[in-house]
Structures are given as C-alpha cells and as structure tokens.
A and B are shown apart, each in its own frame.
Chain A
Amino acid sequence: MPKMVVDGRIVSNTEISVNVKELVLYAPEIAAQAVPGQFLHVRVANSYHPLLRRPLSISSADNIAGTVRTIYRVVGQGTACLAALSSKDSVNCMGPLGNGFAIHGQRPLLVGGGMGLAPLMFLAGALCPRPIEIVMGGRTKEEMFWKDMFHVMCNTIHVTTDDGTLGSRGVTLDVLPDLLKNGAFDMIYTCGPRVMMEGIVKLAKEYDIPCQVSLEDYMACGIGGCLSCTCAGNDGSRKKVCTEGPVFWAQEVMP
C-alpha cells in the first residue's frame, strides 16, 4: 500500500481526560487504507521549533466518514502544539505508516498499559465479533477512561491501577497468570511500557500462545530512512520500528 502525505482537516480535538486528547482528522485517503497497529506521522506546527513530526497511533478509522482518530497524552512541546489546534485548523499528516497487527486466532487477549491502549482500540474493533478479553492498566482511575471506550467491543474487561482507585490494585502482569491458566486464549496482543510487554511475552511463551507486541521509539522520518528507531532483532538483524514494526511477533524482537 502506498504511503501518503496529506493535509488533514481537524474535525475535533477534544479533551477526554486530564491531559489526554482525542484528535479526529478528515483524511479520507488515509482512513481508507489504515489497519490496526499503524500510525500517523504528524507535523504539529508549521515552525522549526518543534521541527520533527510526531508519530501517533491510529485508534480508529472510519472509511465512510473519511476520518482517522488518534488519542494522545500532552507530554511535551510537540503534543502541546497539537493540543492547541482546533477544528478550523488542518495538520500535515503522513500515513498510514508501519505494519499492523495480524488478525489471528479466535480467542484474543489484549493487554494494554497507559497510552498503549490507543492502538489496541483500533484492533479491538477489527477483532469483533470474536469474544475479546482485555486487561488494561494505568496509574490511577483518571487514566482509565479507556474502560468506557472499550466497553462495547470487549466481552470481559479487567482493570488494574497502581493506586487501586479502579479495578484491582497493581499492574496488568499481576492478573495475567490466573487468566492464562483458566482461559483458552489463542492469541495475545500487547502494547505499553517495555517492562510490561517483556513480562507478558514471557508468560505468553510459558503458555505457548502466539503474541504480538507494538513497540515505540523516537523516530525522525517514520519511513525507514533515518534509522533512528531501529531495534535489535533476535535473528541478529536490526529492525526498523517504523516500517518493519511498530507491530512485531514477540519472538522477532523480544528477549
């Protein structure tokens, strides 16, 4: 599929939680092609500061409305620029970039931590009508706005928070052993902090369940030209997170 660069008109850019915004862009060419796991590479300002684009995972694409949606946390200068834009504006956007998730198996388990839930949302939509079970983790209740968003797509939702303000106290990894022991999952998808994904991959291996991970890294071009984002592959090669990922089979890139 050809990648493209378009000026996407902002349909909405609304706050959905503290420092978290949902951006809906009218970009029909990208919406028509995007698959779960892919990302947009967005020029957040027409200035030299910030200079580089920001990669944002696609949380859904609506081919009929011609829109793509991304959910982002305002963490630095780039996302602050993006947060300041409104529906009168448009943003220059490359996409859809990267490789998506493999739609595989009949009993998927999704495990997402924090903003790692953003690409899993698009995936959950594509996995329907399979019965989906998801484990979602965050620091506190305010971060778990995801629960309502995943509600319609998932059969079972397990929530963990670091402080115990919603769901069980702890991290996603704590609830996984019991789930894997009792469930009949034939595929695991995960996206979140590196340490979380490493733990999940280890368990998936233990239970012999295929697993895909979605990685992130600092990147400049987003299309395999700059080699900022490469990671060590288990076959000895370097893997480009932007073009060979961001979704990988666990055995390709995880210890």
Chain B
Amino acid sequence: MSVEDGKSNQQEMLSVTIAGIKMKTPVMTASGTFGFGLEYKDFVDLNKIGAVVVKGTTLLPRSGNKGRRIAETPAGMLNSIGLENPGVDEFLATILPRLGEYDVPIIVNISGNTVEEYGELAARLNVAGVAGVELNISCPNVKEGGIAFGTNCASASSVVRQVKNNTNLPVIVKLSPNVTDIVAMAQAVEEAGADAISLINTLLGMSIDIHKWRPVLGNVVGGLSGPAVKPIAVRMVWQVAQAVQVPIIGMGGIVTAEDAIEFMLAGASAVAVGTANFINPCAVQSVADGIKDYVRQSGLSHVKELVGKVNI
C-alpha cells in the first residue's frame, strides 16, 4: 500500500455524513465557542475539521447582555453572552464569503423571537455556502425566544416545521437539557422533521460572589458548560439514541478524544467541541486525531463502528 493510499484510508476512516452533510471527521465545533471559524484560523486548519457551526445568528444584530458575561466554575464555566451577533444580513454579506475560501461545511446556528423569525432566517440562509442550519431553541440567556421554544414539545415542533417549510437545507435541532423529559423533546422534533439532533446546550446555572453578596454574572444566571456537564450530556445522548432514528451530534464537555468516544459509544454519530476551544485552540483537531488513533488501535475500519455500541 502506498503512502497515498494510507493517507486516504485514514481520512476515510473518519468521514461521516450527518443529515446529508458530508464531513471529513465526525468532530464539529459547537456554536458560540468558535466564533465564525475565522477567529481560529491561526490555530486550526479549517479545511481539516468536520464542520464549523458558527455563532448563533439572529435576524437583526444583537449587542448581547450587559455586565460580566462569564464565570469560571469547578471544571466548567457559566456564560451569559446573550446571543451577541452581527445579524444574518451582515453574516451573508461579509462573513460567509470569507468562509467560502475553506473546504469545510458551514452550519449556521439560528435563533428567533418568533416561529416566523426562525422561518425567515432559514429562508435567507438557504444559499450556496451554507451546508445546514442548526436551530437554537435552547439558549438560556435571552428573555424571548430561545429556550422558550426548547422546553415545550409543541412549540419546538412548530419551529421545526416552519423552518423545514422554508429551506431545502438539512435542519439540525439543538436541544436544551433544561427539560424534564429530553426523550419527549427529541421525539417531538424528529416527528416535526428534524434531520439531526444536537445534544446538549448549556445547563442553566448561577454563581454568587460571597464577598459582594451579588451574582457573578450581569445576567444573574447563565449556561454551564465544560467537563462538569459531560456525564449529563452522555446520559442524554444515550437516552435519546434509544428513542430516535435521526443522527445525534453529541456535545457537552468534550475536551479529549476519549470524551468524544464516550459520546459516540452512547449513540452520537458526530460530536462537537465547545468550551475546550477556549482552553486549547487546537482542540477540535486534536480530538479528531485522537479518535483516529483509537479507531485504528481498536482494530476497527471506521469510526461509525463505535456509534451506539455501549454494552448495557
């Protein structure tokens, strides 16, 4: 076997197709932790990663929340950015063309105040260069929209249906863990036409400054992410994997390849690296490299062979 063949085999070993989106590796970036991708270009070859899921985008620009926006917690962090973003028009006009220089699927995470806004966003993003949309119905940091749609099966379904009616692109739905029954939510969005499910968004949390007797975050509460949430995320992926047919993108505290493999064994067909991008700007690449080593060392021929293989 020539060196060339070896290389292509290695690449084949990791390639996956999620909801029709072809990816070179099953490792994506989690929305809100990787900017629009370009911010990381000095550290990661964007051409080599699974997919870039860009910062949550809204119809109009948003300036985000006031006051302190992050707080470090044991093995994690709270954030309450509040969906700061330049708006979909600016994204389409100036950011998407720059991303077009890279050979990587671009998935746009979208967030609306109303069902109609989700539809409108999806319609505007139904353009060349966008590989898919991820519906953020789980942001804990904005008053209107966001999580309001993600904690009620009927509202979640109507958002998904509205978006499906407005785009030909694959539709991924990012679910909130802040619900009593994650399986019911997953089944509802699948039923409504979701092509894939991202699990999990952040868990609602709070930190208090005991010297000032005040919340650390300006927004009082925020979303918890990082290694601290991983066991919850793995559990939710595993539960949902038993109940739906559509592929699951697992995320929540993935720092290493070992973390990612846990998610895949639980039933995730792909994974996303989030908070770890802040700790190691090359994390998305090192996780993919580690998965490749693991697959090879385990005597498997493809990463797909890991998906859902946990023995109960």
Residues of A within 8 A of B (CB): 2-5, 43, 48-53, 78, 92, 94, 218-230, 232, 238, 243
State the CA gap A116–B33 with chains docked (Å): 29
Q: How far is the CB of B133 from chain A (nearest CB, A)?
A: 20
State the CA gap A193–B14 with chains docked (Å): 50
Supposing A51-B75, A238-B63 touch, asked if A221 and B81 sit within 8 A by C-beta, the answer is no
State the CA gap A50–B275 with chains docked (Å): 13
State the CA gap A203–B52 with chains docked (Å): 46
Query: Interface residue tally of chain B, by bracket?
Result: 20 to 34
Question: Taking the complex as formed, is B226 at the interface, i.e. its CB lies under 8 A from any CB of chain A?
Answer: yes
Note all chain A residues with C-beta closer than 8 A to B63.
232, 238
State the CA gap A243–B68 with chains docked (Å): 18
Question: Taking the complex as formed, is B129 at the interface, i.e. its CB lies under 8 A from any CB of chain A?
Answer: no
Q: Are A227 and B84 in contact (CB under 8 A)?
A: yes
- 8 Å CB contacts to A: which residues of B224-256? 226-228, 255
Q: Are A220 and B77 in contact (CB under 8 A)?
A: yes
State the CA gap A202–B64 with chains docked (Å): 27
State the CA gap A237–B35 with chains docked (Å): 17
Q: Are A230 and B64 in contact (CB under 8 A)?
A: yes
Q: Are B39 and A230 in contact (CB under 8 A)?
A: no
Which stretch in B103-111, B115-123, B198-206, B276-284 binds the other chain?
B276-284
Q: Are B39 and A51 in contact (CB under 8 A)?
A: no
Q: Are A2 and B42 in contact (CB under 8 A)?
A: yes
Note all chain B residues with C-beta closer than 8 A to A53.
278-279
Other 14 A-B pairs with CB < 8 A, given A218-B70, A218-B71, A227-B84: A3-B42, A3-B43, A5-B43, A5-B282, A43-B279, A51-B77, A52-B70, A92-B280, A218-B68, A220-B278, A226-B35, A227-B32, A227-B64, A238-B84
State the CA gap A227–B277 with chains docked (Å): 13
Q: How far is the CB of A209 from chain B (nearest CB, A)?
A: 30
Q: Are A225 and B39 in contact (CB under 8 A)?
A: yes
State the CA gap A192–B55 with chains docked (Å): 32
Note all chain B residues with C-beta closer than 8 A to A232.
63
Question: Taking the complex as formed, is B302 at the interface, i.e. its CB lies under 8 A from any CB of chain A?
Answer: no
Note all chain B residues with C-beta closer than 8 A to A243.
39
Contact of B226 among A3, A51, A218, A221 (CB under 8 A): A51
The 0/1 profile, CB within 8 Å of A marked 1, for residues 249-281 of chain B is 000000100000000000000000001011111
Note all chain A residues with C-beta closer than 8 A to B275.
51, 220
Note all chain A residues with C-beta closer than 8 A to B64.
227, 230, 238
The 0/1 profile, CB within 8 Å of A marked 1, for residues 206-228 of chain B is 00000000000000000000111
Question: Taking the complex as formed, is B74 at the interface, i.e. its CB lies under 8 A from any CB of chain A?
Answer: yes
Q: Are B226 and A223 in contact (CB under 8 A)?
A: no
- What are 12 A-B pairs at a CB distance below 8 A? A3-B43, A5-B281, A48-B255, A51-B72, A51-B279, A219-B70, A220-B77, A221-B35, A221-B277, A224-B39, A225-B35, A226-B35
Q: Are B72 and A225 in contact (CB under 8 A)?
A: no
- Name which residue of chain A comes closest to B71, CB basis: A218
Q: How far is the CB of B287 from chain A (nearest CB, A)?
A: 16
Q: Are B278 and A226 in contact (CB under 8 A)?
A: yes
Supposing A2-B42, A51-B76 touch, asked if A228 and B281 sit within 8 A by C-beta, the answer is no
Q: Are A225 and B40 in contact (CB under 8 A)?
A: yes
Note all chain B residues with C-beta closer than 8 A to A3.
42-43
Note all chain A residues with C-beta closer than 8 A to B43.
3-5, 223
Q: How far is the CB of A47 from chain B (nearest CB, A)?
A: 9
State the CA gap A238–B82 with chains docked (Å): 13
State the CA gap A94–B44 with chains docked (Å): 13
Note all chain B residues with C-beta closer than 8 A to A226.
32-33, 35, 70, 79, 81, 278
Q: How far is the CB of B8 from chain A (nearest CB, A)?
A: 29
Q: Are B70 and A220 in contact (CB under 8 A)?
A: yes
Note all chain B residues with C-beta closer than 8 A to A48.
74-76, 226-228, 255
Question: Taking the complex as formed, is B22 at the interface, i.e. its CB lies under 8 A from any CB of chain A?
Answer: no
Q: Are A228 and B79 in contact (CB under 8 A)?
A: yes
- Name which residue of chain A comes closest to B216, CB basis: A218
Q: Are A221 and B72 in contact (CB under 8 A)?
A: no
Question: Taking the complex as formed, is B91 at the interface, i.e. its CB lies under 8 A from any CB of chain A?
Answer: no
Q: Are B74 and A49 in contact (CB under 8 A)?
A: yes
